[in-house]
Amino acid sequence: MHGSISNKKKQDLRAKDLAHKIHREMYDIYRGYKYVPMGEASSLMIPVTVGCDYSRCKFCDLNHDLPFRIVEPDKLEKILSLQSEFYTLRERKPKRAVLLHANPFALSGKRLLEISALVRRYLPFVENFGCFSRVDAVLAKGQDELRQLKAAGFDSLTLGIESGSDKVLSLQDKGVTVAKTRTALEKLRQAGIRYSFYIVLGLGGEDLSAEHQEETAKLINSSQPEEVFFLSLVMFKNAVLVKELRAGNFKRMRPLDCMQEAASIIEKIKIPLIVNGSHKNNIFSFKGRLPEQKELLLEKLYAEIAAYSENEAFKRDVRRWKYWPNE
């Protein structure tokens, strides 16, 4: 009995030590800037790329301090080996893995297949994979390549769609059009790869808000994502958009108006999906399954909007994003 307790203790200490080493290795690569799609929060993180290979969207400075690069194969294997040992000491093992970082799907199909095989060699319990992807990373792959990736476990992607309006995409220099987005989504559908969207509320500013709502709802209705994540626009300190704002070329929407924009898009959605507005960028959280919870969700959303005074919304925004008062 005493022997088994002390073995358990030893195992726990070893697991703690391994978790610490994994954390250190990850920090060495990403410092404080590690992020994954909201829907992949409980997936095992696999470090394959750092930053974004595009890095031109005006509203984004997520990868400001981390220029794009591919994680060195030795480093990747070192972390996989630590993760492998860690999970031999744990009963619960993750079945799903998420590749980091902003656009790992930009890697060639061949490299992604190699990575999935490598992950399975070290972590045979991993069954499938997800990651963020830009639309052009999907377009760059052939239909057969996508089918092979699906067979290798890439069963769903999270796409930073941001808006269904070409005007908004162009304003923000997103580098893709809605037509290209539609083609990419069709390719994914044919390959049997599911997808979810990130949509940024307030991305068109005051001038393009109506267009952003209308066109985004149209895109959602015609493309059937599984889940749509809504995030309010944040003025990141180093984003190009800040300069546009200061020059008077972009009129930022108030936090409450972003919530109003969410409600208006949800009103227009006619297909079954999950609406997820639980991101911390939003001044309040909302989530529900459509169509069953549409009415309830909208009721709650409008009640929250009505209950929030501009002053409260402003204060909360300031607390979260200290940059706001300097605008």
Question: Under the rule (CB under 6 A), what is the footprint of ligand SF4?
Answer: 52, 54-57, 60, 62-63, 102, 134, 160
Shortest approach of ligand SF4 to residue 162 CB, angstroms? 7
| Closer of 37 and 153 to ligand SF4 (Cβ) | 37
Shortest approach of ligand SF4 to residue 65 CB, angstroms? 13
| Closer of 203 and 256 to ligand SF4 (Cβ) | 203
| Closer of 101 and 252 to ligand SF4 (Cβ) | 101
Shortest approach of ligand SF4 to residue 323 CB, angstroms? 17
CA separation for the pair 95, 87 (Å, rounded):
12
C-beta separation of 28 from 74 below 8 A: no
CA separation for the pair 307, 116 (Å, rounded):
48
Shortest approach of ligand SF4 to residue 51 CB, angstroms? 8
- Assigned token pair, 119: 């992950």
| Closer of 205 and 288 to ligand SF4 (Cβ) | 205
Pairing state of beta strands 44-47 and 273-276? unpaired
Long-range contacts of 239-245 (CB under 8 A, 24+ apart): 239/58, 239/59, 239/60, 239/61, 240/58, 240/59, 240/173, 241/58, 241/59, 241/172, 242/327, 244/58, 245/327
Shortest approach of ligand SF4 to residue 173 CB, angstroms? 9
| Closer of 56 and 270 to ligand SF4 (Cβ) | 56
Phi/psi at 306 (5° precision): -65, -35
